[in-house]
Amino acid sequence: MGVSQRLKNRFRKFLQRPGTTVNLGPLSERLGPIEAREEALKELDDAALTDAARETADFTEICAVGREAARRTIGQRPYDVQLLGAMALLSGRVAEMATGEGKTLTATIAAYGHTRLGNGPVHVLTVNDYLARRDAEWMEPVYNLLGLSVGWVTEASTQEERREAYAADVTYVSVSEAGFDYLRDQLVTDVADRVQRELATAIVDEADSILIDEARVPMVLAGSVAVESDPVHEAADLVKSLRKGKDYEVAEDGRSVAFTEAGLKNIEEQLGGIDLYADDQVEHLSAVNVALHAHALLRRDVDYIVRNGTVELIDEMRGRVAQRRRWPDGLQAAVEAKEGLSATAEGEVLNTITVQAYIALYETVCGMTATAVHVGEQLREYFKLEVAVVPSNAPNIREDDPDRIYSAHDTRDEALVEEIKIAHDKGRPVLIGTLDVQASERLAEQLKAVGVPCQVLNAKNDAEEASIIAEAGAVGAVTVSTQMAGRGVDIRLGGSDEKDRERVVELGGLYVIGAGRHDSRRVDDQLRGRAGRQGDPGASVFFVSLEDELVSRHAGDILPGSPRMDMDGVVHDSQVDYAVEHAQRVAEGVNHEIHRNTWRYSVVIEQQRLLLAERRERLLTSEVAAIMLLEKSPEKAKETDEDVLSDSARAIALYHLDKLWADHLAYLSEVREGVHLRALGKLDPLDEFHRSAVPAFQELLIQVEARTIEAFEEVDLSDGWQPERSEIVRPNATWTYLVHDNPFGSELDRLIAAVGRRLTSGG
């Protein structure tokens, strides 16, 4: 039986797998013809191969040529499953491929293919700068032999470097840098200042993470304006002296906190005897509520760390510092105040777009990840993307043990340390995934106490994390990592050079232990996937405590009072197993609901953005503004020199369009918060939002014209067009950031909750 036949048999099994929505059968039929081309392509010299690469526009030939180019340049002949993945990407799917299957090379063949199919330029969107650069540099020889240029962008790239990178056929860039570049390009007043070309094809790496988990994250471009004093910052001092249980109560789920009557009175007195619920005290009420949240619910070293005098957020999903992320402004300031730091400049928001809306701007989207099936439905709902499950190259022989569940943290931690020590004493490499930085550090201490040295990979040393994780498979290595730190880096058995591979194989391969289940099964699966790559031996297990936040928050009420345990304190109780699974499902459901809600609100904004972008493009690249002025302000327009009219009309119209859009975005976010108040009056908040957003946008379009005419009539054009003499002052400095999820809902949600509590308690 030939290789292709064996693979076909395995594919057949795969095609029956539930959740597989795309039939890979027809694509796998091409593997034979691809292989049949191999010998002939090997005969070609490099120049002839490049010529061949430039000629084809057919899946079979694209894969055959791509395979030969990879073999020749980086010495890796793409496996059949990689070609199958590449074809899935070429047909606009999300390919699910296990960790270590070689998605980087798969994406390269797909990127090449997309350019051949006329879908270029191609952006490969990564989760971080490190991977953008690494993958572009690694794959460059392959691209070059295929006759393509490749570029990469990181946060440190200059304008010129960015423009050059985007001019390449294929560009590797983190999704946030790409989004920021888009936002900046939307504000240029000269076409030549743009860095990106059209958004044609996006190949999304770690697709579930970017398309689902990060989807609702707004990317923000702000311009410098003076920092105003922030009442929230002042409120931080007020809440410092409050005590839990007396002045405030934290809800069991740890996600909300409310003042007690005594606490409120205390605050009201400190504020000089005001009534916080009086109509004119809304700002104070909201400020002290936010301050209380920062004080009582956000934990240093779990939710954020303080480094170099600033608050840096820890990304819940990845457990590492989220670069340049902020909470919504009030909350960020409250946490800064809590830590005694001065508030960072806030600036005026010039433009913002969510990751999801940015991705939607591409003509063609496809992606790859190890964990797509679980979010298959959402990928279809939000991006019309289907998942294609690509079988692994070698069968997965990793042993996934059932969870070990303990009733309390103490017993769990003891057992966990013991388990690590036993494996370590034999020399078996162990990778432990913890839920947060604090847990990592606590575990490291506990391991040290029993004489087990370990490497801690967390938010605080992310610069080195790639090289540390690369060695996590070495003999005796113990690596403690917060969730997905170091993602995308290969863990080879026996160390990165595979020096002691045989010994580690004998020991059973990499042992992955989760110190608690994550909020999503996908993240658990990603952790497990660290072991058992390419048919390597390996094992995984999760050590769960019933005191873990996930379990107590979402399944506290269905846990049996006294679960059955064995002598070692391990719980053996089907009801408990069920509760743990249930807790994770609930957490996933909550996240999905939040995502859907944000999305429903953003649909109308995104339609408006597209309309506005079209209008802006016309202003920027044609004479529509001048023509409009000739009609609406004929006297002055006619007596103005043609070039001066063209320049001034364009600049003035663009300025007002951008300014009005920024104001519109601010207005919409106010409306969005405000509509929740109206929700109390039983109106549908989404309808209400539309009722405000639609006319406001129509008004904006009218205003752009009106203000342009007005400004044109006022400006002195006697010495030509001199922007500095006009009212047009564009921000001289801009910066970008991501808005982190507000973990507690919007400020107004909380306010309503607080008001609601007060009403229901008869206050």
Cβ pair 389, 112 in contact under 8 A: no
The reply on whether position 554 binds ligand ATP by CB under 6 A is no
Q: Which amino acid is at 603?
A: V
Please identify which residue in the block is written with the tokens 């976010």: 669
Q: Which of 155, 301, 400, 490 binds ligand ATP (CB under 6 A)?
A: 490
The reply on whether position 99 binds ligand ATP by CB under 6 A is yes
Range in contact with ligand ATP (rule: CB under 6 A) among 12-20, 92-100, 259-267, 670-678: 92-100
Rounded Cα gap, residues 254 and 108, in angstroms: 45
* H-state helical runs in 406-495: 409-426, 437-449, 465-470
The CB-of-210 to ligand ATP minimum distance in angstroms stands at 13
- List residues bridging with 325 in a β-sheet: 738
The reply on whether position 153 binds ligand ATP by CB under 6 A is no
Cα–Cα distances in Å, from 381 out to 212, 356, 585? 11, 12, 19
445 among the known binding-site residues? no
Tokens in use for 583?
A: 């807790």
Which C-beta is closer to ligand ATP: that of 474 or that of 751?
Answer: 474
Rounded Cα gap, residues 540 and 758, in angstroms: 48
Range in contact with ligand ATP (rule: CB under 6 A) among 78-86, 289-297, 500-508, 598-606: 78-86
Tokens in use for 557?
A: 């009420």
Q: Which of 263, 367, 391, 488 binds ligand ATP (CB under 6 A)?
A: 488
Range in contact with ligand ATP (rule: CB under 6 A) among 100-108, 211-219, 312-320, 411-419: 100-108
Range in contact with ligand ATP (rule: CB under 6 A) among 77-85, 108-116, 213-221, 709-717: 77-85
Sort strands 734-739 and 218-223 into parallel, antiparallel or unpaired.
Answer: antiparallel
Please identify which residue in the block is written with the tokens 């240093």: 300
b/e map of 472-491 (b: 16 or more CB within 10 Å)? bbbbbbbbbbbbbbbbbbbb
Sort strands 218-223 and 248-250 into parallel, antiparallel or unpaired.
Answer: unpaired
632 among the known binding-site residues? no
Going by C-alpha positions, the residue among 521, 596, 583 that lies closest to residue 555 is 583
The reply on whether position 248 binds ligand ATP by CB under 6 A is no
For the chain, how far is it from start to end, CA to CA, in angstroms?
79
Which C-beta is closer to ligand ATP: that of 400 or that of 490?
Answer: 490
Tokens in use for 12?
A: 């057949």
Rounded Cα gap, residues 207 and 95, in angstroms: 9
Rounded Cα gap, residues 583 and 553, in angstroms: 8
Number of H helices, E strands in the chain: 29, 22
The CB-of-76 to ligand ATP minimum distance in angstroms stands at 4
Which C-beta is closer to ligand ATP: that of 218 or that of 532?
Answer: 532
427 among the known binding-site residues? no
The reply on whether position 121 binds ligand ATP by CB under 6 A is no
102 among the known binding-site residues? yes
The reply on whether position 532 binds ligand ATP by CB under 6 A is no
The reply on whether position 78 binds ligand ATP by CB under 6 A is yes
Rounded Cα gap, residues 745 and 560, in angstroms: 31
The CB-of-38 to ligand ATP minimum distance in angstroms stands at 14
Q: Which of 132, 370, 390, 507 binds ligand ATP (CB under 6 A)?
A: 370
The reply on whether position 100 binds ligand ATP by CB under 6 A is yes
Range in contact with ligand ATP (rule: CB under 6 A) among 56-64, 95-103, 229-237, 458-466: 95-103
* Count of residues touching ligand ATP (by CB under 6 A): 16
- SS3 call for 160: helix
The reply on whether position 362 binds ligand ATP by CB under 6 A is no
104 among the known binding-site residues? yes
Cβ pair 44, 52 in contact under 8 A: yes
Range in contact with ligand ATP (rule: CB under 6 A) among 75-83, 158-166, 169-177, 728-736: 75-83
Which C-beta is closer to ligand ATP: that of 105 or that of 317?
Answer: 105
Tokens in use for 396?
A: 């997965």
| Count of beta carbons in the 10 Å neighbourhood of residue 174 | 24
The reply on whether position 516 binds ligand ATP by CB under 6 A is no
Q: Which of 11, 59, 79, 543 binds ligand ATP (CB under 6 A)?
A: 79
Q: Which of 17, 77, 243, 448 binds ligand ATP (CB under 6 A)?
A: 77
The CB-of-198 to ligand ATP minimum distance in angstroms stands at 27
Cβ pair 197, 121 in contact under 8 A: yes
The reply on whether position 103 binds ligand ATP by CB under 6 A is yes
Rounded Cα gap, residues 273 and 284, in angstroms: 13
121: preceding bond cis by omega (within 30 degrees): yes
Tokens in use for 590?
A: 């909550």
- SS3 call for 92: coil
| Count of beta carbons in the 10 Å neighbourhood of residue 670 | 12
490 among the known binding-site residues? yes
When CB distances to ligand ATP are compared, the closest residue is 102
Q: At what angle do helices 103-116 and 129-145 cross, to 10 degrees?
A: 60
Range in contact with ligand ATP (rule: CB under 6 A) among 40-48, 74-82, 214-222, 325-333: 74-82
Range in contact with ligand ATP (rule: CB under 6 A) among 71-79, 155-163, 516-524, 648-656: 71-79
The reply on whether position 104 binds ligand ATP by CB under 6 A is yes
The CB-of-430 to ligand ATP minimum distance in angstroms stands at 18
The reply on whether position 102 binds ligand ATP by CB under 6 A is yes
Which C-beta is closer to ligand ATP: that of 490 or that of 606?
Answer: 490
Which C-beta is closer to ligand ATP: that of 470 or that of 696?
Answer: 470
Q: Contact residues for ligand ATP (CB under 6 A)?
A: 76-79, 82, 97, 99-105, 370, 488, 490
Binding annotation for ATP: 82, 100-104, 490
Binding annotation: 82, 100-104, 490
